[in-house]
Amino acid sequence: MSLAKPDRETIERWNRILEPYLGADTRRSVTQILTSVIPFAVLWYLAYLSLSVSYWLTLLLVIPTSGFLIRMFIIQHDCGHGSFFKSRTARDWVGRCIGVLLLTPYDYWKRTHAYHHAHSGDLDFRGFGDVDTYTVAEYLSWPKSKRIRYRLYRHPLVLFGVAPFYQFFIKHRFPADIPRRWKTAWRSVWWTNLAIVGVVALMWATIGIKNFLLVQVPVTMLASTIGVWMFYVQHQYEDTYWHWHEKWDYYDASLYGSSYLVLPKALQWLSGNIGVHHVHHMSARIPNYKLQQVHDENPEFHVVAKVRFRDTLKLINLALWDEENRRLIRFRDLKARRAA
């Protein structure tokens, strides 16, 4: 997809369109917290009680419990963008508390995710908050050992199985890839780790460590896997947007490098409308509960790639950015092209 950068007049028009939707509605934000945290707590407790009946029943209850954990992640996500409460203190502490349940240090995540928004689709600024993506030319220039490592990394079982476990259970405990000068982020890591230890100790003393882990581990694993999958399909589709910085544009990257993931209504509600991802990237200061409204009321933003739920399985093997044809391709596509 080769696009001219939008001119200043277009950008100003888009900003005028988005301006009325900016900022939090405190009543809606509080309601969203209540309709997320309370159902999560009730379902978690029912899952714990079900351990004395059947672990299969527990695993069945894990499914909706994970859905509400994802909904809580969206709240933390909006707090990090400054769009969930007008008070910075309120949104930061809500984000930090939820981060303990999510195994995600809030201030660390907020900074790396801001980098993703500032550089999404920019080939010169890959590294934080992205699924690692390389060009065909880069891949072909590597030695065989590095190609094998990348192919393993991009395998669906790794991306949606191993990677979520590593990201949330291990990397978030000590994110060695961030600079030591990020003092606030590192404090967030240590305080979150300490709070997690406190929660585990409390659960150990009350319901027993085994019972706690039998419920919490599958809840966290399912929620994190779904979260990684959603993030993947919101940016990794065939005609997405990648450019080297010289030709990169923030607004083009938002509209053409972020999909509109069309989910069943129940899943859209649980995921806080984050599938309306192009609008979110156009302005992260729009809270999740306004994203669908922005899309519906402004046909100008309908040029975005629409990804339907049933089509997402077709995307999981995409792996390389083909600069010549401006699209993501699979490893087998590269092999077929080279053989032709």
What are 64-79's pLDDT values in tens digits? 999 999 999 999 999 9
Residue 144 located in a structural domain:
yes
At residue 20 the predicted structure's pLDDT band, cuts being 50, 70 and 90, is very high
HSE of 260, CA atoms in CB hemisphere, 13 A: 15
What pLDDT is stored for residue 207 in this prediction? 97
Average pLDDT, the chain: 92
Instruction: Indicate the length of the chain as a whole number.
Output: 340
Question: Using CA atoms, how far apart are residues 313 and 180, in angstroms rounded to an integer?
Answer: 39
At residue 5 the predicted structure's pLDDT band, cuts being 50, 70 and 90, is low
In whole angstroms, how large is the CA radius of gyration of the chain? 21
Q: What range defines the domain where residue 158 resides?
A: 8-339
Residue 40 located in a structural domain:
yes
Residue 3 located in a structural domain:
no
Residue 141 located in a structural domain:
yes
Residue 154 located in a structural domain:
yes
What pLDDT is stored for residue 2 in this prediction? 41
* Tally of domains within the chain: 1
Residue 262 located in a structural domain:
yes
At residue 54 the predicted structure's pLDDT band, cuts being 50, 70 and 90, is very high
- Mean pLDDT over 200-216 rounds to 97
Residues 6+ apart with CB under 8 A from 14: 6, 251, 282, 300
At residue 339 the predicted structure's pLDDT band, cuts being 50, 70 and 90, is low
What pLDDT is stored for residue 305 in this prediction? 85
Asked if residue 338 has pLDDT above 70, the reply is no
What pLDDT is stored for residue 6 in this prediction? 66
Residue 2 located in a structural domain:
no
Asked whether 163 and 82 are in contact (CB, 8 A), the reply is no
* Pair of tokens at residue 229: 């999958």
Asked if residue 164 has pLDDT above 70, the reply is yes
- Mean pLDDT over 255-283 rounds to 92
Of all residues in the chain, the percent with pLDDT exceeding 70 is 97
Residue 1 located in a structural domain:
no
At residue 312 the predicted structure's pLDDT band, cuts being 50, 70 and 90, is confident
Higher pLDDT, 305 or 54: 54
At residue 126 the predicted structure's pLDDT band, cuts being 50, 70 and 90, is confident
